[in-house]
Structure 1
C-alpha cells in the first residue's frame, strides 16, 4: 500500500483508539447520574427531572463514540456460518466487499446527521420535556461518531485490501 494510505490507517486507528477509550469512561458518568437520581428520589424524596434524559444522552455518546473503536477491534457481532472456515486472505476479500455496503450506509447516515445537526443549531431545537435540554450537543456527538465510524470503515477497507493482496498493514 502507498505511504499516504498507510499513514491514513495509522492516524485513523490512533484517533479512534483514543476516542474509544475515552468513551469507555462514559459508563462511569452514566452510573453516577443514575446513582444520583436514585439517591435523590429515595433519600431526599424529590425526583430529578433531568436524570433520565441525561443518562440517555450519555449512553448515546458512549455507543456512538465507541462504535469505531469496536470496529477497529473486530468487536461487532458477525453472522458466522462460513466465515471462520475461510483463509485469512479470503476473509479479507469478503470483508473488503461487504464493507462497501457499510460505507454507503454510513455516508447516507452522515449526510442526515449533518443536516439534522445544522437544523438543530440554526433553530435552537430543544427536547419537548420539562427539562427541555438543547439537542445540538448530542447531535454534534452523533455526527462525530458517525464520521469516526466512516473513517474507521475506510481504514478497515484499506487493511482488508492489503491483507487480500498478501501484504497486511501493521
Structure 2
C-alpha cells in the first residue's frame, strides 16, 4: 500500500471556516491531551482536574495553558488559510497519519524481531555465554530492555518511515502467518514451545488490527451494514458521513483517549510507565506494556483520520470538485 498524495487536489477552494475550526480544534485538543499526559505521568503535574479540586492548582495552570496554546494555534492557522480547500487539507492530514502508521509498522517489526530473539536467548540461557552473567541480568529487567533496546528501535522505526513508502500491513500479515506456522511446526515436529512464541503472534496481530484501522477508514474498507446508504448519492452520503463522524466516530475515539490517558493509574499509563510484562515473566517477551499503549495509538490514529474523513465528507456534501473514488465496495 502506498499513501495517496494531495498534489492533484487544488489547495484553494470554497471557505469552510466552521468545519475547519472544528476539525483543527479536535487535533489541537488531541495534541494538548498527549502533552498534558506526558506532564502528568513523567513530570508529576496535577492535571486539569486540580483546577476544580483546589489541590495543586498552581501546576494545573500549565496544563490549562497547554490546551489554550494549541487551540489558539489551530484557530490562527484556520483564519490565516481560510481559502484552503477541504479536500486538500483532508489529504494533508491523512498524509501525516500515513507516516505515523508506517512508522508504527516499522517499530513493531523491529521490536518484535529483536525482543523475541532476546527472549529466546534469555530462556535458553544463551545471554550469559555472549555477554556474561552480570550484563545478562539486565536483560531480565523489563525496564532496562524497554529503555535501552525498545526505545532506540522505536526511534529507528520512525527514521526508516521517512524514507519508506509502504505501510507494510501485507508483510505484517504474512509474518503473523509464518510466526503461527512456526509454533505449529515447533510444537508437533520438535515438541518444543515457549511462551515467547505466542507473545510474538499476539503482539503483531494486535498491531495489525489496531494500526491498520485508520487506513481502512480512508479506503472505506470497514464493513457497512445498511438499508438505505447504498442507494444515496455522493452528496447525501457526505451528509450522513459527516454527522456520523462527529457523533459516532470522534466521540468513540475521545472516549478511548480520555479513559486510557486519565492519570498515572489509567489502563494505558500504568502498564506503560511500569513496563508491565505478561504472566509468563522472563520466559516471554517484554512487550505487554506496549500492547497497552496500542489502544491509545488506535484512538489517536482514528481521531486524526476521522478529522480527515470529516473534511472529505463535508466536501462531498457541498458537491465540491475532486471527489476521491475508493476501491472498497459497500457491504449490505
Contact 1:24 1:66 in 2 (8 A): no
- Equivalent in the alignment of 2:271: 120
Query: Does the Cα contact within 8 Å between 1:72 and 1:156 map onto a contact in 2?
Result: yes
Select the structure with the greater relative contact order (CA < 8 A; seq sep ≥ 6).
1
| Cα distance, 1:137 vs structure 2 | 1.6
Separation (CA, whole Å) in 2 of partners of 1:137 and 1:4: 37
Residue 244 of structure 2 corresponds to residue 98 of structure 1: yes
Distance between the aligned counterparts of 2:211 and 2:308, measured in 1?
16
Instruction: Summarize the alignment of residues 55-134 of structure 1 with structure 2, pairs less than 5 Å apart.
Output: 55-100=201-246, 101-114=248-261, 115-129=266-280, 131-132=283-284, 133-134=286-287
Q: By how many angstroms is 1:142 displaced?
A: 3.0
TM-score, normalised to structure 1, is 0.86
Q: Give the CA deviation at 1:9.
A: 1.6
Contact 1:12 1:155 in 2 (8 A): yes
Q: Tell me, which stretches of 5 or more residues in structure 2 are unaligned?
A: 1-15, 17-82, 103-166, 324-332
SS at match of 1:80: coil
Paired residue secondary structure (1:116): coil
**Which entry has the higher C-alpha Rg, 1 or 2?**
2
Report how many residues are paired.
Answer: 170
For structure 1, the residue ranges without an aligned partner over 5 or more in a row are none
CA gap of 1:110–1:22, structure 2 versus 1, over 3 A, is: farther
Q: Which residue of 2 aligns with 1:153?
A: 306
Structure 1 residue aligned with 2:191, among 45, 51, 58? 45
1:163 maps to 316
TM-score by length of structure 2 reads 0.47
Q: Could you list the per-position Cα deviations for residues 75-106 of structure 1 after superposition, in whole angstroms to 9, with x for gaps in the alignment?
A: 01112201111121011101111111210111
CA RMSD of aligned residues (A): 2.2
Using the TM superposition, name which of 160-169 and 74-83 deviates more.
160-169
Of 293, 317, 325, 1:140 maps to 293
Give the Cα separation in 2 of the matches to 1:25 and 1:90.
Answer: 37
Q: Distance in 2 between matches of 1:25 and 1:82?
A: 36
**Structure 1 residues 17 and 169, CA gap change in structure 2 (3 angstroms):** farther
